[in-house]
Every structure is written in C-alpha cells, then in structure tokens.
C-alpha cells in the first residue's frame, strides 16, 4: 500500500512516496537542515476523508508512537528525523507529513 510524504514547510524535505507490504516495517525520513533551536519536530498523518492526526512531537528525543505502532527517531544534530512504522497495516495508508514549529 502507498505511504506518501508531503512537504509541510519549505524547510523540510521528504520522499515523494514510499510503499510497503502489510506487516513489513517502513522508515519515512525527513530532512530539516535549517532547524532552529526553538523548533519542535512534528509528524502528522492525513488519512483519506479525515483531518490531520498528530503522531509525534519532540524537541530532540526519540519517542514511541501510541499503541506500539513505531517510533520517531531524531538525529543528534536534529537535522533529520525518521518515522518508523514497525508493523504497518492497510489502515495506515496515508499521507505522512513532517513539520517544524515553535
């Protein structure tokens, strides 16, 4: 099933699209080389027919996603982050956004 990345702000860059098979983990990366000290790293997903859902929010720490769905990983210099979906299901097919914000 398709997993799509979208640019949420000019300062971030993501893959245009990714695909995986149900149950096979996938890593969705986001580059944000111009991140500011006060910026929070945010990850959202947009499911068909629904509004944006906040998946994870962090300054620099890696975070577990709800329901053991995966993990948000952040590099030591905060210049990239990655959303790891450990066992994706068909219901996880969505547009995944990363964003920066104070």
H helix runs in the chain, sequence order = none
- Residue 85's pLDDT is what? 92
Distance CA 96, CA 93 (A): 9
Angle at 13 between CA 39 and CA 48, to 5 degrees: 95
Q: What is this structure's pTM?
A: 0.81
Q: What are the pLDDT digits (tens) for 83-100? A: 999 988 888 888 898 998
Q: What are the pLDDT digits (tens) for 62-72? A: 999 877 789 99
- Domain limits of the chain? 26-101
**Structural class in CATH, domain 26-101:** mainly beta
Q: What are phi and psi of 45, to 5 degrees?
A: -135, 150
Distance CA 32, CA 23 (A): 28
């Amino acid at each position: 099933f398709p997993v799509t990345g979208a640019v949420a702000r000019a300062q971030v860059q993501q893959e245009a699209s990714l695909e995986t098979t149900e149950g096979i983990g996938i890593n969705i990366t986001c580059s944000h080389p111009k991140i500011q000290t006060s910026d929070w790293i945010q990850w959202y997903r947009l499911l068909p027919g629904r509004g944006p859902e906040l998946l994870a929010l962090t300054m620099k720490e890696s975070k577990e996603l709800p329901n053991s769905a995966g993990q948000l990983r952040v590099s030591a210099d905060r210049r990239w982050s990655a959303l790891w979906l450990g066992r994706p299901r068909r219901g996880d097919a969505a547009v995944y956004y990363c964003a920066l914000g104070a």
